């Protein structure tokens, strides 16, 4: 039988290095975090061969005292936590005390430092299998330089798993990029094989922060981003979120920071994905750089060796806060909001066009330099909103809706073929009871547009005035800045959908008791979860009761989901609650059905519209949330400025 032996210090550190030091990028992350914790305002990073041959990091931080240099390379030695109370409210990036010891066990490490208040600098090196250290005088300004050479030279099995130099450097560059995004008050210089990659100076204002963003993430991101800064319930969220039309094919432009620490959290990802759900094209990913600030005591950062994951004490509160604020910020982006700031959401729109990858049509934002403050005359002349049922009911050539839609329609009074009609053929608004005469097109025609379309308008509306219809598909509109093209079906689809949702949620959700309740067998923990989360189901018209130790009973369902597989839906919601702590599957399913209904209810291509009808559609776009995208995430309009047209026809050359 093998006897129990105490591991040697080097072997113990190398085992720890397996968790902390995955590749050169891991070394850079740990060392830069230590420098930032030391109060550095300038960081110089020089790497060779992707960081495998050499990583040299120099900072101007507080430095390390001579007597602490040897201890700094010991395992579980740190100046950042002393008591359990410190661990429960960590305010620094590093605190485990494993980084330097682990790195020195798999490389040749030299650490030179001059502490604040000391006249001399000192250098420490590790030697021998027992990790013994030697300290000697050195020449160095205030701060610390760490030189890591020949990473994994003594662990060849680890070294052979490294990728190519280019791949390793890309990972290393990403680490520097994330830290540069987390600390705008710090300068970063990065060089690779003697060639400078980044030279980022410290910034203290919004304009220069956006310049740094453009340098790191590309100019297009900041041109197509919304600035958000909101605070509630002890939480503050600020940063930039990309417009829905500036989406990506992969989730590679998503940065989220909690108290300055970059994290990848499932709860956060779920909240953001839910906020963008109605406006993203299928398979696309949103872009964002967001910063969440909260009491350090309410978040646990010690749940993963690399500290990439966190755990919130009140995950539901954080999720709801993130979702509601981002969702509202996206909803508030309408043509009239360009260049303005919403007092409630703290939302402002960055100047510039809305750009997408070539797979999707390009869309441009609308500047409103001439829009008067304190309300617009053209807004007062806009047509009033009507119910989605009324809108859809007047359209010709309606296609037959799905079984789900028809069941909801009959229960709610929505009739897709006839609308809400009185005996004499007049149209009745189901919300106000107001009678409107059927006039061919779904939207009411404002009298302002009869004859001279600009009558009664003191300023030009953001989407301008319609001048023509192209092939029965696109509306051509003249604005102050140039030409606007609108996909009339996509735009009307969004208008109908938003009104249908508003009507659905404003009223109490109609439910249907089941003649034969559905018994669902679940585990005991799942049954407990259903009991604890009864409000999640009841808020959307489901009545699910616990009937046994491992069973629940579905007794009522919302009418809009009467044809859905109730058992499968309940199981999916339980799974979502178990994984994320929250679930929006019921709402998502209902919205999906309403989106289908609104798609069928929107005006079809090749439908000839009058100028008045086109202008009425434009005015409704200007007051409808998320009108920049249809229900499927496709853009609804695009713009060509006079400058764009002049370039196209080489005017002025």
- Give all domains of the chain, ordered by start, each with its CATH number: 9-200 (3.30.565.10), 206-349 (3.30.230.10), 377-503+608-648 (3.30.1540.20), 509-597 (3.30.1370.100)
pLDDT over 60 (residue 442): no
pLDDT at 318: 94
pLDDT over 80 (residue 18): no
Average pLDDT over residues 618-636: 88
Average pLDDT over residues 591-601: 77
How far apart CA 290 and CA 262 sit, in angstroms, is 10
Which residues in 119-129 are b (16+ Cβ under 10 Å) and which e? Answer: eebbbbbbeee
pLDDT over 80 (residue 380): no
pTM comes to 0.72
pLDDT over 90 (residue 189): yes
pLDDT at 304: 67
pLDDT at 344: 40
Phi, then psi, of 485 in degrees rounded to 5: -110, 130
What mean pLDDT is reported for the chain? 78
pLDDT at 187: 97
Average pLDDT over residues 371-391: 32
Least confident piece of the model among 228-237, 355-364, 565-574: 355-364
How far apart CA 363 and CA 190 sit, in angstroms, is 35
How far apart CA 291 and CA 29 sit, in angstroms, is 19
pLDDT over 70 (residue 60): yes
Q: What 8-state DSSP symbol labels residue 57?
A: E
How far apart CA 368 and CA 459 sit, in angstroms, is 10
How far apart CA 426 and CA 438 sit, in angstroms, is 6
pLDDT over 70 (residue 160): yes
pLDDT over 60 (residue 150): yes
454-469 confidence digits (pLDDT tens):
555 667 889 999 999 9
Average pLDDT over residues 474-495: 92
How far apart CA 366 and CA 353 sit, in angstroms, is 8
Which residues in 632-648 are b (16+ Cβ under 10 Å) and which e? Answer: ebbbbbbbbbeeeeeee
Q: What percent of the chain has pLDDT over 70?
A: 78
Phi, then psi, of 139 in degrees rounded to 5: -105, 120
Q: Which has more pLDDT, 317 or 415?
A: 317
pLDDT at 85: 73
Q: Which has more pLDDT, 595 or 609?
A: 609
User: What are the residues whose beta carbons fall under 8 Å from the beta carbon of 225, sequence distance 6 or more?
Assistant: 240, 241, 242, 243, 246, 287, 350
Which residues in 200-232 are b (16+ Cβ under 10 Å) and which e? Answer: beebeeeeebbbbbeebbeebbbbbbbbbbbee
pLDDT at 423: 34
pLDDT at 360: 35
Element (H, E) at 135: strand 132-138
CB contact at 8 A, 352 and 338: no
Q: Where do we find the tokens 């978040």?
A: 299
Among 365-374, 518-527, 530-539, 558-567, which range has the highest average pLDDT? Answer: 518-527
How far apart CA 466 and CA 453 sit, in angstroms, is 9
pLDDT band at 129 (very low <50, low <70, confident <90, very high): low
Cα 321-326-331 angle, rounded to 5 deg: 130
pLDDT at 547: 92
pLDDT at 455: 55
How far apart CA 118 and CA 67 sit, in angstroms, is 12
Whole-number Cα distances in Å, 248 to 23, 254, 287 = 27, 10, 7
CB contact at 8 A, 258 and 267: no
pLDDT at 559: 81
pLDDT at 97: 67
pLDDT over 70 (residue 238): yes
Q: Return the number of other C-beta atoms located less than 10 Å from residue 392's C-beta.
A: 27
pLDDT at 600: 75
pLDDT band at 348 (very low <50, low <70, confident <90, very high): very low
Average pLDDT over residues 224-249: 93
Adjacent-strand bridge partners of 159: none
Least confident piece of the model among 76-85, 238-247, 256-265, 562-571: 76-85
Q: Which has more pLDDT, 158 or 514?
A: 514
489-528 confidence digits (pLDDT tens):
999 999 988 888 887 777 767 788 999 999 999 999 999 9
How far apart CA 46 and CA 643 sit, in angstroms, is 44
Q: What percent of the chain has pLDDT over 90?
A: 41
pLDDT band at 208 (very low <50, low <70, confident <90, very high): very high
Q: Which has more pLDDT, 223 or 407?
A: 223
pLDDT at 102: 85
Cα 648-652-653 angle, rounded to 5 deg: 85
User: What are the residues whose beta carbons fall under 8 Å from the beta carbon of 415, sequence distance 6 or more?
Assistant: 389, 393, 409
Phi, then psi, of 72 in degrees rounded to 5: -60, -30
pLDDT at 397: 27
Instruction: Find, among 482, 461, 488, the residue nearest to 613 by Cα.
Output: 488
How far apart CA 105 and CA 21 sit, in angstroms, is 10
pLDDT over 90 (residue 11): no
pLDDT at 414: 35
Q: Return the number of other C-beta atoms located less than 10 Å from residue 315's C-beta.
A: 18
């Amino acid at each position: 039988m093998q006897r129990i032996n105490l591991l040697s210090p080097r072997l113990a550190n190398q085992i720890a290095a397996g968790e902390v030091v995955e590749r050169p990028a891991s070394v850079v992350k740990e060392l830069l975090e230590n420098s930032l914790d030391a109060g550095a305002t300038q960081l110089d990073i020089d790497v060779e061969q992707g960081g495998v041959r050499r990583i040299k990091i120099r900072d101007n931080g507080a430095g390390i005292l001579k007597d602490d240099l040897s201890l700094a390379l010991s395992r579980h030695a740190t100046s950042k936590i002393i008591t359990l109370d410190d661990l429960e409210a960590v305010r620094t990036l590093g605190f485990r005390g494993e980084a330097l010891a682990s790195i020195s066990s798999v490389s040749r490490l030299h650490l030179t430092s001059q502490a604040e208040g000391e006249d001399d600098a000192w250098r420490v090196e590790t030697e021998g299998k027992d990790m013994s250290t030697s300290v000697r005088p050195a020449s160095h300004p205030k701060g610390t330089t760490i030189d890591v050479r020949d990473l994994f030279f003594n662990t060849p099995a680890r070294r052979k798993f490294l990728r190519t130099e280019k791949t390793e450097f890309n990972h290393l560059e990403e680490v520097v990029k994330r830290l540069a995004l987390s600390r705008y008050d710090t300068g970063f210089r990065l060089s690779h094989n003697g060639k400078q990659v980044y030279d980022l100076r410290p910034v203290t204002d919004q304009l220069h922060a956006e310049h740094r963003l453009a340098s790191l993430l590309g100019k297009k991101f900041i041109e197509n981003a919304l600035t958000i800064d909101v605070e509630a319930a002890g939480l503050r969220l600020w940063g930039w979120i990309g417009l829905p039309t500036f989406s990506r094919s992969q989730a590679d432009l998503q940065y989220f920071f909690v108290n300055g620490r970059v994290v990848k959290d499932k709860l956060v990802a779920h909240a953001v994905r839910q906020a963008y759900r109605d406006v993203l094209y299928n398979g696309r990913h949103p872009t964002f750089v967001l910063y969440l600030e909260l009491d350090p005591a309410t978040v646990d950062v010690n749940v993963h060796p690399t500290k990439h994951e966190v755990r919130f004490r009140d995950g539901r509160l954080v999720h709801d806060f993130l979702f509601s604020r981002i969702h509202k910020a996206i909803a508030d982006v309408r043509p009239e909001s360009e260049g303005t700031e919403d007092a409630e959401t703290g939302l402002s729109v960055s100047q510039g066009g809305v750009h997408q990858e070539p797979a999707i049509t390009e869309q441009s934002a609308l500047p409103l330099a001439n829009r008067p403050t304190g309300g617009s005359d053209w807004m007062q002349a806009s047509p009033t909103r009507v119910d989605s049922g009324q809108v859809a009911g007047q359209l010709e050539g309606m296609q037959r809706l799905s079984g789900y839609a028809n069941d909801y329609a009959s229960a709610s009074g929505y009739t897709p073929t006839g609308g809400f009609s009185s005996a004499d053929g007049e149209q009745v608004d189901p919300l106000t009871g107001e009678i409107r005469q059927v006039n061919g097109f779904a939207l009411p025609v404002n009298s302002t547009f009869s004859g001279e379309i600009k009558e009664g308008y003191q300023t030009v509306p953001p989407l301008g005035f319609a001048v023509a219809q192209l092939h029965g598909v696109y509306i051509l509109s003249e604005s102050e800045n140039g030409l606007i093209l609108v996909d009339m079906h996509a735009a009307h689809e969004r208008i109908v959908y938003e009104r249908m949702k508003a009507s659905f949620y404003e009223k109490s959700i109609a439910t249907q008791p089941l003649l034969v309740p559905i018994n669902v067998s679940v585990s005991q923990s799942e049954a407990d979860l259903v009991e604890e989360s009864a409000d999640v189901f009841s808020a959307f018209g489901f009545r699910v009761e616990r009937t046994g130790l491992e069973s629940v009973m579905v007794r009522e369902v919302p009418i809009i989901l009467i044809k859905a597989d109730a058992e499968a839906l309940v199981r999916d919601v339980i799974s979502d609650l178990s994984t994320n702590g929250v679930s929006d599957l019921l709402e998502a399913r209902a919205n999906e059905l309403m989106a289908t209904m609104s798609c069928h209810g929107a005006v079809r291509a090749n439908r000839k519209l009058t100028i008045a009808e086109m202008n009425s559609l434009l005015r409704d776009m200007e007051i409808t949330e998320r009108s920049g995208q249809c229900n499927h995430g496709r853009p609804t309009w695009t713009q060509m400025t006079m400058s764009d047209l002049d370039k196209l026809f080489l005017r002025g050359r």
